[in-house]
Amino acid sequence: MATGRGRQLSIGRIAGIPVFVSPTWFLVAAIITYWGRGVAQHYLPELSDGSAYLVAFLFAVLLYLSVFVHELGHALTARRLGLPVRGITLHFLGGYTEIERDAPTPGRDLVVSAAGPLLSLALGGLGLLAVQAIDDRVLSFLVWELAVANLLVGVFNVLPGLPLDGGHMLRAAVWRVTGDEHRGTVVAARCGQVLAGLVLVLPFALNGGRPQISVIIWAGLVAALLWSGATQALTVGRMRARLPRLDTRTLARRAAPVAPDLPVSEAMRQAREANVTSLVIVDSAGRPTGIVSESSVAAIPEQRRPWVTIGQQSRSLQQGLILPLDVRGDDLLKAMRELPATEYLVVDGEGRVYGVLVTSDVDHALAAR
C-alpha cells in the first residue's frame, strides 16, 4: 500500500533506495492516454477505442518505467561512488534522484551525471533492435514508441545546461579545467537559462510559426522547469561559494554572562554596559548552563521586565547547542541542521565561552552579495 511523504506517494524500495511518485504523474498518464489513443489508432487502425486507450496507457506506464531506470542509473552510480541517496521521485515531466551531498570531485560528478542518459540511450537502441524481431503488431508498436521515447529522453538530457544531466556534465568539465566548482555551476546554469528560452521559442520557429496550443503549453512547461532549475542551481551555487566565509570565530557575537535569577531588566542593563546583545546563563561557578533567547526577551513588555527572571527566557544547553571555535562551512551548516535553534553557544578549546552564534547572522552571511 502506498504511503505519503508530503504530497508524494511511496511505492517501496529498489535496491534499498526509496521510490516516490508525485500525484502529478497520474495527470500526465491521463493526458498521454488521451492523446496516445489517436496515435495508436493511426498506426494500428484495427484497434477499437477501448484497445487504443489501453495501448496508450501501457505506453505511459512503460515510459515512466524507463524514466525510473534512468534515475536508478544515477542513484546506483552515486551510491557506488560513496554518495548517499535519499530517494528517487517520478513527477509530471520525468523524475529526479535526491543525492544527499554533491560529488567531491568533478570526475565523480561527471560519472554520476552521465549514468542516466547512457542508460536511456542504451534502452532506446535495444528497443529499435528488438522491434525487428517482434511479430506482434501491438507489441512491436509499443516497443518502437518506447525506444523512440528513450532516445529522445537520452538526447534531451545531455543538452548542456542545468538542471539537465548534460548541464551537470558541463559543470564538471568546467570545474575540472578551471579548478573552480562555482564557475562551473555558473556556466552550466546560464546555459540552462539559454536552453529554457530556446525551448520556449522553438515551437514558433517550426511548423511555419503556427504551432498547436498543446505544443505551446508543453514547451512552456518544459521551459519553466528548465528556467526554474537553472536559476535555483545558480542561487545554490552562489550560496556554496560563500561557505568558506562561514565560521564561528567571525560570526559569533560577544556575550555577557548572567545569573539565572537576575531580573530581565538588570540583565539587559548589564548587556548594554558590556556593549553586547547576547546573554549566557552561568551557574555559581561561572559555567554556562543556558542561552538567552533574544526574541523572547524582546517580546516582554518593559513594565514586566523587573519581575521576570532572565533564566525563564533561556534554553538549557544540550550537546548540539554547543559549537567549537573555528568550525566552518559545510561542517557548521551540518551541525546547525542536526539541532535547529535560534542561538548556539560557541566555546574555545578549553570549553570557555567565546560568544553566541545567532542563526539569523548565518542566514545573512549566506544571502549577502
Instruction: Give the pLDDT of residue 345.
Output: 93
Inform me whether the pLDDT recorded for 365 exceeds 70. yes
- pLDDT reported for residue 207: 67
**Averaged pLDDT score across all residues of the chain:** 88
- Confidence (pLDDT) at 318: 84
Q: Which amino acid is at 322?
A: I
Distance CA 304, CA 335 (A): 36
Written as one string, the DSSP assignment of 64-117 is: HHHHHHHHHHHHHHHHHTT--EEEEEEETTEEEEEESS--SSHHHHHHHHHHHH
Higher pLDDT, 28 or 214: 28
Please report which helix (H) or strand (E) contains residue 19, including its range.
strand 17-21
Model confidence at 206, in pLDDT bands (50, 70, 90)?
confident
Q: Is 198 left (phi over 0), alpha (psi -120 to 50) or beta?
A: alpha
Determine the pLDDT at residue 277. Answer: 84
pLDDT at site 323: 92
pLDDT of 3 reads 37
pLDDT surpasses 80 at 278: yes
Distance CA 82, CA 308 (A): 52
Tens digits of residue pLDDT in 79-90 = 999 999 999 998
Contacts of 31 (CB under 8 A, 6+ apart): none
Give me the pLDDT at residue 28, please.
Answer: 84
Q: Assess whether pLDDT exceeds 60 at residue 31.
A: yes
Confidence of residue 1 (pLDDT cuts 50, 70, 90): very low
pLDDT score of 101: 80
Question: Cα angle at 291 between 287 and 294, to 5 degrees?
Answer: 145
pLDDT over 60 at 20, yes or no:
yes
pLDDT at residue 35 is higher than 90 = no
Average pLDDT over residues 296-310: 89
Rg, the chain, Cα only: 28
Question: Region 6-22: what's the mean pLDDT?
Answer: 85
* Position 124, amino acid: G
Q: What is the pLDDT of residue 185?
A: 93
pLDDT of residue 212: 77
Give the lowest-confidence range in 72-81, 234-243, 339-348. Answer: 234-243
Confidence of residue 203 (pLDDT cuts 50, 70, 90): confident
Strands 94-99 and 255-258: unpaired
Q: What is the pLDDT of residue 2?
A: 35
Using CA atoms, how far residue 262 sits from 223, 258, 272, 291, in Å, is 60, 7, 15, 14
The C-alpha cell at 231 is 536559476
Whether pLDDT at 107 is above 70: yes
- Nearest Cα to 90, choosing from 8, 181, 157? 8
Cell representation of residue 105: 570531485
pLDDT tens digits, one per residue of 143-170: 999 999 999 999 999 999 999 999 999 9
Task: Place 109 in a pLDDT band, splitting at 50, 70 and 90.
Answer: very high
DSSP string, 112-157: HHHHHHHHHHHHHHHHHHHHTT---HHHHHHHHHHHHHHHHHHHHH
56-69 mean pLDDT:
89
Q: How confident is the model at residue 4 (pLDDT cuts 50, 70, 90)?
A: very low
